[in-house]
Amino acid sequence: MRRSRSPRLDMKTFLVTAPTVVAGLVLIAAAWLLFAPAELGGATRYAVVEGASMEPGLSRGDLVLVRGGGDADVGDAVLYRDPTLGVRVLHRVIAKEDGRLVLRGDANDFVDDARPRPSDVIGAYWFSIPRAGSFLFWLQQPLHAALLAFALTIVALAGGGARPARTKEAPTG
């Protein structure tokens, strides 16, 4: 009867594995610092473009990431809460008057009625992901979320097929 040996971690494997694990943890930490939502202690807020006022740069359904901090300058696109409309609006700062911001959508020929203070700004445009917001709205539908969960479950259970373990055989002569 043959005894199976427990696997040992040799120095070569350790020297290859340890830096990979550390690099992975550093990447996860960096991703958290950059993309963690403000609701979970991060510095990033997310918004989905619903109108056409920022075209051609931003289109309906784009996911926009905004980051707070700093003072909004003329030319910056900022996200603020419009008290009249009761929604968040992403428009560009075109001027500053009496300590308030004058804003306008890139595709609009009129300025916004709201004149928020810099402290009312939720954040400034960081970058956007085209059509990702449309996917998020699609995913909010229970049937669509269930279909995606079902498909991911099938892929996870399929697993790509397992290969049998190789055994060393003594060469026959």
> Is 9 among the domain residues?
no
pLDDT band at 84 (very low <50, low <70, confident <90, very high): confident
Q: Are 128 and 77 contacting, i.e. CB atoms less than 8 angstroms apart?
A: no
Instruction: Note down the domain range covering 100.
Output: 43-130
What pLDDT, on a 0 to 100 scale, did the predictor assign at position 140? 87
> Is 168 among the domain residues?
no
> Is 31 among the domain residues?
no
The number of distinct structural domains making up the chain is 1
Residue 68, pLDDT > 90, answer no
The CATH number covering residue 114 comes to 2.10.109.10
What pLDDT, on a 0 to 100 scale, did the predictor assign at position 3? 58
> Is 17 among the domain residues?
no
Q: What is the pLDDT of residues 119-158, one digit of tens each?
A: 899 999 999 999 999 998 898 899 999 999 999 999 999 8
- Which pTM was predicted? 0.71
Lowest mean pLDDT among 13-22, 47-56, 135-144: 13-22
Q: How far apart are CA 123 and CA 166, in angstroms?
A: 56
pLDDT band at 64 (very low <50, low <70, confident <90, very high): very high
Q: How far apart are CA 148 and CA 135, in angstroms?
A: 12
Residue 1, pLDDT > 60, answer no
> Is 96 among the domain residues?
yes
Query: Residue 59 CB: number of other CB atoms within 10 A?
Result: 16
> Is 58 among the domain residues?
yes
What pLDDT, on a 0 to 100 scale, did the predictor assign at position 17? 81
> Is 69 among the domain residues?
yes
Residue 161, pLDDT > 90, answer no
Q: How far apart are CA 75 and CA 20, in angstroms?
A: 42
Kindly provide the b/e burial profile for residues 65-97, where b requires at least 16 CB atoms within 10 angstroms of the residue's own CB: bbbeeeebeeeebbbbebeeeeebbbbbbeeee
> Is 171 among the domain residues?
no
